[in-house]
Amino acid sequence: MDSKQNSVLSLFIAVEHSLAHYCPALDYVASLVGNALVPSCGFTKAVPEVDIFPSGIGVLAKGHQFSIFKKSHADEAAKVVNYLVSCDSFKKFQEDAARLREILNEGIYLYAISTAVLHRTDTGGALLPPLWQVNPRSYFPGPVIKRAFDQVRRGKSDASDGSTPPAFTTGSNRDPEFKLAWWREDCGFNAHHYHWHQSYPWRGVNGVTKDRQGELFYYMHQQMLARYDAERLAVGLMRVDPYSNWHLPIPEGYNPQLTDYYGAYQFAARPAGMILADNWRDPSDPTLIIQQEYHRNRLLDAINTGKFEKNDGTKVDVDINGLGAAIEANASTPNKDLYGSVGIHNRGHDILAGITDPDYRYNQAGGVMGDISAAIRDPIFFRWHKFVDDLFFLHKIKLAPYTQTDLEFQNVQVDSVQVQVINPARPANTLITRMEDVVVDIANDMFLDPNDKPNTEVKVTVKQVNHDKFSYEVGVTNSSGAPLKAAFRIFIAPSLDEYGTQYQLDSQRRLFIEMDKFVTTLKTGSSAITRSSTRSSIIKPRELTIAELKKRGTTTKKGADDGSTCRADRYCECGWPEHMLVPRGTAAGMPFDLFVMVTNWANDSSTDDLDRGTSYCGVKDKTYPDKRPMGFPFDRKIDSALYKHVADFANGFSNMMTLPIKITCV
Amino acid sequence: MTATIMDFKQNSVLSLFSAVEHSSPALLQPVSRKAKARPPASALSSALEEISAPLVGYAFVPSSFKTAVPEADIFPSGIGILAKGHQFSIFKKSHADEAATVVNYLVSCDCFEKFQEDATRLREILNEGIYLYAISTAVLHRKDTSSTLLPPLWQVNPRNYFPGPIIKRAFDQARRGKSDASDGSTPPAFTTGSNRDPEFKLAWWREDCGFNAHHYHWHQSYPWRGVNGVTKDRQGELFYYMHQQMLARYDAERLAVGLMRVDSYSNWHLPIPEGYNPQLTDYYGAYQFAARPAGMILADNWRDPSDPTLIIQQGYHRDRLLDAINTGKFEKTDGHKVDVDINGLGAAIEANASTPNPDLYGSVGIHNRGHDILAGITDPDYRYNQAGGVMGDTSAAIRDPIFFRWHKFVDDLFFLHKIKLTPYNQTDLEFQNVQVDSVQVQVNDPARPANTLITRMEDVVVDIANDMFLNPNDKPNTEVNVTVKQVNHGRFNYKLGVTSNSRTPLKAAIRIFIAPSLDEHGTQYQLDSQRRLFIEMDKFVTTLKTGSNAITRRSTRSSVIKPRELTIAELKKRGTAAKEADDGCACRPDRYCECGWPEHMLVPRGTAAGMPFDLFVMVTNWANDSSTDDLDRGTSYCGVKDKTYPDKRPMGFPFDRKIDSALYKHVADFSKGFSNMKTLPIKITCV
């Protein structure tokens, strides 16, 4: 166990360096993980490199920008992943990975190796190093990196000269969107988005998509939007507008200040006021606005008629999973010709990434929208996904509202709900958030070169939101006369709109944020259920750093609750960053509605279990644990005549309860 | 000056540019948590030993002098304002003011030891761009460093001179121990464009590192804020002429690759069709030079809220300048009128310290503000905290096609002034008793035909490491080599036959120009259009004896060129005394040794088929023309340090004024009219 973890780690050390040709690096890796697990220096010379890999590997040259949203890139990446997932021993996997480091484009290498680790059965339980330590220049803006290096070299910290450098550098007080740079640029959030896409590749793994992959694509992104809007309301911005008119200038620009590892390319800055243009950057696979509009109209056709047309002309019903498959063009899409072989979603990323140099005239790298490790930094990401989400919304509002039977849980009554932060001095029903300094070592042996030994730490201090850990305390009465397995579904949403007016449920329901979903057995009579926020079904606990991973124990520790363990059937890297679980709120205390619903797990359960991370990421190689539509019960229209506010809705059912809470940023 | 002192100074100056992003080697502190194999203390001392080897024996080096002297107190106020990691632009008044304060301080500090100590301290305090600019400018201007050479800028700050993909490849190769050739691939030499960008045809020219360094050095030799507030002899005119010659050369290159001559950027309200993607950063990628997408429209620049560059102000100053040009009079601050001349017009346009009126003609200058507003076009109110484009930086501005469009606009203002002047008369142009009998050019390879110059693209290898890997525990690193493609030419001689009928020997100035013979459509240029395209190739003085003279002049002596720079490695090995050798190693104390057109770019590239040029030779009387100072390498574009411009004639003479097209349709007609001139049709063939 220990040796595998360290071997996996070695694949990510000094990723820009050759291992096979470069003995000092190999010696160094051997010193970490033991000689037995490291191929001997020069081993690739014994095997003709090119011949051992399937064709189509090594096509994208080194130094070029990798984008999973481009078909040719995604195809090459999928080939590498399929090859690595299939190779039959761990030793072979490791040797091949070291050889591939020589051959592959750096972005594909990183993506494919980490995706393979996630999907191989013999690496189940191994953790990946944090991406922002592996490839820091894609996670931290240049000025921040520069400062970190200065401090190492000059041996003094920011504080020593009395200056307080800005924590975020990609905007200014003239850019309203910059108010949420701290959120969009959070390295854990960006890594989550990357890991989600590598857990659910649109090209599939060995060509196969996973259980409810299309629906999960919808839901994970919909929840990002709900959370984004909560943060926008908190800082006084309007909810995000869809990017649906593709012919007008885009008023918001974005300047990422990121490069690849060695600055071979710079992510394009997108000036304010640019207009979308046909993207001919790949002359054999252009992204044309008229094609995007064509596919949009075919998707609307499917949504409006409720039927997809398959290649053979037969019609099949539209459901949320099929619609997700069509929009992302995953391997289960009903019809590539009509709904797009690359997908309106992926092409939207691609065309927006290329907006500053649409025919590659200036050989300019694309913007962050082309890269899943950085796309969410750009405000246009959320405008684009709001457009995508609106397509899903158009489908969902055509569905019949949930019935009494769908919603009720007979003989179960929620008596009370309370939230309480760990510090008992704080009042009940108030969650506490704050901005914290987090120190990250970005060296990753960046200086490693033929004459040198691994380097000192290079520390970046980032500001991240965090919250006081808290508990949900729910009082429930089971009057059925027998124990019941019950699913608890906990959501929150902002209570007030942009103008301070109470949201009606009709508008508010798209803003509900899933906070937790768990199963417990209700004994007969009343139960007092206490649930710790650290168990949330959406979160991924703090990642172990490279240094911590190096020290990691020899076996999977049972019961350790610190993120240092990973069950073999989990996407251990995927999940909403724990530190971002609670929206930041406001200094004055931002009112939210907390909504609790209890349902009958005997009806809802697939065969698999809820756990940390499963709400947005599912269970590895198994079914999504909850058979209900994702986002239930807020995903469908709710009769506004019956239920004006969420409290009215909860009052209508004994198994629901609403609690007004505040989120205070201290 | 003893040999030992010479060596010591050169190496000391070199140390000021070593690993410029690092704290000075003398100040490196051991880092506590460190490698097991190599004990920190000895690692540090060995690194120090190596880096500061040139300084060993010098009292201050390993001492902790820094902590003994309160940093902030020893420097004048106004130093250390621009924070580290920010982009420095000499075209911004506040930046230029801080840079000037540093330069003035360093030029004035009274001994070399003090200069060196202060420079080391300033490395801690100054913005990196200001540090580099001010230290090098001070070295150029201090009397006690006047023979010291600066290291090539592209070695000192390579990410500012070579695009990211090139740097990346160099590092890969250093690490993987294999060259491009080993895997059979031929990577592109230039990466900032594609075959969909017509302007990319001249990337090799605009992005030449020597050319960019020339432009940087010119501006630091002639700072618009002056040195100690004083401008130099004919600085305004030289500003005009150096840039005019860049345009003439640019147009020759454009014609060679099938592009139209450059268009003036004079309409400030329409989209700019050509974009540019520099792919450059500062040393550590703290900022990235902004890429300018195609189709952007100029916008008021509020990046510095207290000193905006407004289009309406630019329009205002343009009109005031036109007023001066059209009336022939500047209005001074006190209301008095003074005549417009080319030097005053240059001063007004660049707003140098001799400008006739900062209020009317601009305190920062229409030229500087044009750079600034164009540099900020992608983020004009700094909303996105985006660094500016290359137009804001003299070390990279000429990479962007808009540089030449902007300077064509500026040059048109000078042109409007010049065409109001009376054409040169017979007396101005003739040289009685002197006749040019024959002109020939011959490349050194005698197998080549006469009157054909030969150019080629060559691979040049540059080590960009500059101790980039230096860190407290490591030794200086291996070389990191970038291979760049540069134009070069076969060395050649001018051979002139000149007859003097004067009974006494005459000191004569020989003025040699070339210009493309044919226009965009292959039609022969009329002199009226062609005269703005004449490129000065050489200007030298010789004594004509009575009777016929056979004059041979080597291209390597050209008055426009700067010979190839010595690399850092060569500078480290540099001999103990200024050699009289002819290889760029020697620098006379009265020269701007870094300034000059790169020798390898002396000859326009021409075409594979052989591009026709007119070579024009004119001999004038140096007894009339001479200022007190001598022509030499580099003096045509860069003058003579602390002295007068050697040639009293207007720069660009005789093509700077209107020439009567009724009398002289073509340049050959012009030279036929005067015995002291001759035109020779030549070809430039790129092999």
**Stretch A174-180: mean pLDDT:** 95
User: A33 at the B interface (CB within 8 A)?
Assistant: no
Using one digit for the tens of pLDDT, what is the confidence trace for B56-80?
A: 223 233 334 444 444 556 788 899 9
Percent of chain A whose pLDDT exceeds 70: 87
Nearest-by-Cβ selection for A22 from B175, B193, B377: B175
pLDDT at B602 over 60: yes
Residue with the two structure tokens 């890269």: A371
Using one digit for the tens of pLDDT, what is the confidence trace for B203-222?
A: 999 999 999 999 999 999 99
**Cα nearest neighbour of B281 on chain A:** A263
Q: Is the ipTM of this complex over 0.90?
A: no
* Residue A574: per-residue pLDDT: 85
Residue with the two structure tokens 């130093």: B79
In A, which residues are within 8 Å of B477 by CB distance?
449, 451-452
User: B124 at the A interface (CB within 8 A)?
Assistant: yes
* Residue A564: per-residue pLDDT: 55
Nearest-by-Cβ selection for A150 from B29, B84, B296: B84
Q: Which of residues 160-219 of A touch B (CB under 8 A)?
A: 163, 169-172, 174-175, 178
The nearest CA of chain B is from the CA of A215 a distance in Å of 35
Nearest-by-Cβ selection for B285 from A18, A259, A355: A259
In B, which residues are within 8 Å of A272 by CB distance?
379, 383-384
**Which bin fits B505, alpha (ψ -120 to 50), beta or left (φ > 0)?**
beta
Using one digit for the tens of pLDDT, what is the confidence trace for A337-389?
A: 999 999 999 999 999 999 999 999 999 999 999 999 999 999 999 999 999 99
**CB spacing of A264 vs B167 below 8 angstroms:** yes
A586/A572: higher pLDDT: A586
Instruction: Say if CB B345 and CB B325 are below 8 A apart.
Output: yes
**CB spacing of A150 vs B471 below 8 angstroms:** no
pLDDT at A408 over 50: yes
* Residue A12: per-residue pLDDT: 84
Beta strands in A393-499 (DSSP E): 412-421, 430-441, 459-467, 470-478, 484-494
Instruction: Grade residue B44 by pLDDT with cuts at 50, 70 and 90.
Output: very low
Six-digit token string for B557: 């002596």
**CB spacing of A257 vs B192 below 8 angstroms:** no
Q: Which of A328, A543, A573, A578 is catalytic?
A: A328
**CB spacing of B35 vs A454 below 8 angstroms:** yes
**Stretch A401-426: mean pLDDT:** 96
Chain A interface, mutation test: which of B167, B182, B385, most A Cβ atoms within 10 Å? B385
User: B661 at the A interface (CB within 8 A)?
Assistant: no
In B, which residues are within 8 Å of A357 by CB distance?
275, 277, 291, 293-294
In A, which residues are within 8 Å of B197 by CB distance?
361-362
Which helix (H) or strand (E) is B541 found in, with range? strand B535-544
Best-predicted range by mean pLDDT (A9-13, B346-350, B583-587): B346-350
CB atoms within 10 A of CB B434: 21
The nearest CA of chain B is from the CA of A270 a distance in Å of 8
User: A271 at the B interface (CB within 8 A)?
Assistant: yes
* Residue A63: per-residue pLDDT: 85
Instruction: Grade residue A157 by pLDDT with cuts at 50, 70 and 90.
Output: low
Q: Distance between CA A359 and CA A349 in Å, rounded?
A: 16
**CB spacing of A174 vs B383 below 8 angstroms:** yes
Six-digit token string for A261: 């590892």
* Residue A566: per-residue pLDDT: 67
Instruction: Say if CB A328 and CB A217 are below 8 A apart.
Output: yes
User: B23 at the A interface (CB within 8 A)?
Assistant: yes
In A, which residues are within 8 Å of B469 by CB distance?
447, 449, 452
Q: What residues have CB less than 8 Å from A448, skipping those under 6 apart?
A: A13, A14, A17, A24, A25, A28, A454, A455
Q: Where are the domains of chain A?
A: 3-123, 240-396, 406-443+458-665
By annotation, the residues of B acting in catalysis are 350
User: A17 at the B interface (CB within 8 A)?
Assistant: yes
* Residue B7: per-residue pLDDT: 59
**Stretch B15-44: mean pLDDT:** 45
**Cα nearest neighbour of A364 on chain B:** B277
Using one digit for the tens of pLDDT, what is the confidence trace for A536-553?
A: 999 998 888 888 887 764
Q: Are strands A656-665 and A430-441 parallel, antiparallel or unpaired?
A: parallel
Q: Using alpha carbons, select from B405, B409, B666 the residue that is nearest to residue B531.
A: B666
Residue with the two structure tokens 């199963």: A519
* Three state DSSP letters for B298-323: CCCECCCCCCCECHHHHHHHHHHHHH
* Residue B464: per-residue pLDDT: 84
**Stretch B324-348: mean pLDDT:** 97
* Residue A445: per-residue pLDDT: 58
* Residue A502: per-residue pLDDT: 96
Task: Count how many Cα atoms sit within 13 Å of the Cα of residue A584 in the half-sphere of its side chain.
Answer: 22
**CB spacing of B296 vs A361 below 8 angstroms:** no
Percent of chain A whose pLDDT exceeds 90: 69
The nearest CA of chain B is from the CA of A101 a distance in Å of 11
Instruction: Say if CB A213 and CB A321 are below 8 A apart.
Output: yes
Fold of A240-396: di-copper center containing domain from catechol oxidase (1.10.1280)
**CB spacing of B176 vs A18 below 8 angstroms:** yes
Instruction: Grade residue A143 by pLDDT with cuts at 50, 70 and 90.
Output: confident
In B, which residues are within 8 Å of A368 by CB distance?
none
The nearest CA of chain A is from the CA of B463 a distance in Å of 16
pLDDT at B596 over 70: yes
Q: Where are the alpha helices (DSSP H) in B475-601?
A: 527-530, 568-572
Using one digit for the tens of pLDDT, what is the confidence trace for A555-573?
A: 444 444 455 566 666 777 7
Instruction: Grade residue B187 by pLDDT with cuts at 50, 70 and 90.
Output: confident
Task: Count how many Cα atoms sit within 13 Å of the Cα of residue A324 in the half-sphere of its side chain.
Answer: 22
Q: Distance between CA B642 and CA B652 in Å, rounded?
A: 22
In A, which residues are within 8 Å of B169 by CB distance?
63, 264
Identify the CATH homologous superfamily for domain A406-443+458-665: Hemocyanin, C-terminal domain (2.60.40.1520)
Nearest-by-Cβ selection for A364 from B29, B291, B477: B291
Lowest-confidence region among A164-173, A467-476, B374-383 = A164-173
Q: What residues have CB less than 8 Å from A31, skipping those under 6 apart?
A: none
Nearest-by-Cβ selection for B384 from A154, A253, A268: A253
Q: Taking CB atoms and an 8 Å cut-off, how many pairs form between chains A and B?
A: 211
* Residue A609: per-residue pLDDT: 85
Chain A interface, mutation test: which of B87, B383, B390, B471, most A Cβ atoms within 10 Å? B383
* Residue B169: per-residue pLDDT: 80
Residue with the two structure tokens 């798209």: A510
Six-digit token string for B81: 């304002």
In B, which residues are within 8 Å of A142 by CB distance?
281, 284-288
**Stretch B519-538: mean pLDDT:** 96
| pTM attached to this predicted model | 0.86
**Stretch A289-301: mean pLDDT:** 96
In B, which residues are within 8 Å of A169 by CB distance?
385
Using one digit for the tens of pLDDT, what is the confidence trace for B277-313?
A: 999 988 767 899 999 999 999 999 999 999 999 999 9
* Residue A94: per-residue pLDDT: 83
* Residue B61: per-residue pLDDT: 35
Q: Distance between CA B141 and CA B87 in Å, rounded?
A: 24
Q: Distance between CA B214 and CA B210 in Å, rounded?
A: 6
The nearest CA of chain B is from the CA of A287 a distance in Å of 18
User: A27 at the B interface (CB within 8 A)?
Assistant: no
Domains A3-123 and A240-396 fall in the same CATH topology: no
Q: Distance between CA B387 and CA B288 in Å, rounded?
A: 6
CATH 1.20.1370.10 fits domain A3-123: yes
The nearest CA of chain A is from the CA of B462 a distance in Å of 18
Q: Which of residues 488-527 of B touch A (CB under 8 A)?
A: none
**Stretch A196-221: mean pLDDT:** 95
**Stretch A39-66: mean pLDDT:** 72
pLDDT at A213 over 50: yes
